[in-house]
């Protein structure tokens, strides 16, 4: 189940540059009127401060935002990417053109706040299933245009990526099964695109559908909205033949109980969909 996007440091840096270029074009347009009030020769030192505990995530996007405005700016991270910060802790020092830092400020913080929130939330869910076999997995319920950034943040928080999009894997859901004429026919059809797919997964809603899917050779099955006793029985029936994933109705309060059923993966749309931004602020300091 290898994703098409490799999330190497070079690839992430290029992704961040592209995301930031769009964001700055949206924000700055043909010029920052307010930052233009500042002497262009003035240099500045700015600190980014955490206003709540979090896992710091989004560094490549912050660097891209600042450097696109001032290529000579220096950024010194007090809290590295993927590490926890505490309330009131300075996480980053920026030195460079005052105008450039002011123009880049909101774009840089927007990415840092969003991606730190995703990473922090993911880490909370990962910690809740620690000691079980279950992996915490994201979904396609991402902000339009920022899917790869959010999936990077899930990884930073210790989670696992599901498919990147519709193009890299097969996930057969209820409507696909109905349109194709049943579990067995749709799995047979899926074999024709297997060479192009990083994995083929089918969603089932009943134990009877699970047994049919296993009999048809399914290697990855999504158990949709099953209660805990049914999940335990699904794990027993499966007997290790396929990777089992839970989806639907997953909350942090129920997470440990769901993980202890013995499933392999738990996919959670809320990791990227229902996110409260982490609070950071930027403060200028005297040079």
pLDDT digits (tens, 9 = 90+) for 79-122: 999 999 999 999 999 999 999 999 999 999 999 999 999 999 99
As its CATH architecture, domain 129-273 has Alpha-Beta Barrel (3.20)
Q: Which of 19, 81, 105, 203 is catalytic?
A: 203
pTM score, two decimals?
Answer: 0.94
Q: How many helices (H) and strands (E) does the chain have?
A: 10, 12
Q: Which of 27, 93, 224, 279 is catalytic?
A: 224
Is 141 tagged catalytic? Answer: yes
Is 173 tagged catalytic? Answer: yes
Cβ contact 113:262 at 8 Å? no
Biggest alpha carbon distance in the chain? 72
Check residue 3 and give its pLDDT. 54
Cβ contact 118:276 at 8 Å? no
Count CA atoms within 13 Å of residue 23 on its CB side. Answer: 25
User: What value does the mean pLDDT take over residues 32-52?
Assistant: 96
User: What value does the mean pLDDT take over residues 242-260?
Assistant: 95
Residue extents of the structural domains in the chain: 9-126+275-285, 129-273
DSSP-derived 3-state class of residue 195: helix
- DSSP state letter for 44: E
> Does the pLDDT of residue 280 top 70, yes or no?
yes
Domain 9-126+275-285 homologous superfamily, CATH = Quinolinate phosphoribosyl transferase, N-terminal domain (3.90.1170.20)
Q: Which of 173, 232, 254, 256 is catalytic?
A: 173
Q: Which of 106, 140, 219, 241 is catalytic?
A: 106
> Does the pLDDT of residue 4 top 70, yes or no?
no
Q: Which of 45, 141, 219, 254 is catalytic?
A: 141
Do 9-126+275-285 and 129-273 agree at the fold level? no
Tokens of 218: 């399914």
β pairing state of 265-267 and 280-285: unpaired
Average pLDDT of every residue of the chain: 95
pLDDT band at 2; cut points 50, 70, 90: very low
């Amino acid at each position: 189940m290898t994703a098409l996007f490799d999330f190497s440091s070079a690839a992430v840096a290029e992704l961040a540059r592209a995301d930031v270029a769009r964001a700055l074009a949206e924000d700055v347009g043909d010029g920052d009127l307010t930052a233009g009030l500042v002497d262009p020769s003035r240099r500045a030192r700015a600190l980014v401060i955490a206003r709540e505990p979090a896992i710091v995530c989004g560094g490549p996007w912050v660097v891209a935002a600042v450097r696109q405005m001032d290529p000579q700016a220096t950024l010194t991270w007090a809290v590295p990417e993927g590490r926890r910060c505490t309330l009131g802790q300075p996480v980053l020092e920026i030195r460079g053109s005052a105008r450039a830092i002011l123009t880049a400020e909101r774009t840089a913080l927007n990415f840092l706040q969003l991606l730190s929130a995703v990473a922090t939330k993911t880490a909370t869910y990962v910690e809740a299933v620690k000691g079980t076999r279950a992996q915490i997995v994201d979904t396609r319920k991402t902000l339009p245009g920022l899917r790869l950034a959010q999936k990077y943040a899930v990884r930073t928080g210790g989670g696992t990526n599901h498919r990147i999009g519709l193009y890299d894997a097969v996930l057969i859901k209820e409507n696909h099964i109905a349109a194709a004429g049943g579990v067995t026919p749709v799995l047979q059809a899926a074999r024709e695109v297997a060479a192009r797919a990083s994995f083929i997964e089918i969603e089932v809603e009943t134990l009877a559908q699970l047994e049919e899917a296993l009999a048809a050779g399914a290697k990855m099955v999504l158990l949709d909205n099953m209660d805990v006793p049914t999940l335990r029985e699904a794990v027993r029936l499966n007997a290790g033949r396929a990777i089992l994933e839970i989806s639907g109705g997953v909350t942090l309060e129920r997470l440990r109980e769901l993980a202890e059923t013995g499933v392999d993966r738990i996919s959670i749309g809320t990791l990227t969909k229902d996110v409260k931004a982490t609070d950071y602020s930027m403060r200028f300091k005297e040079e």
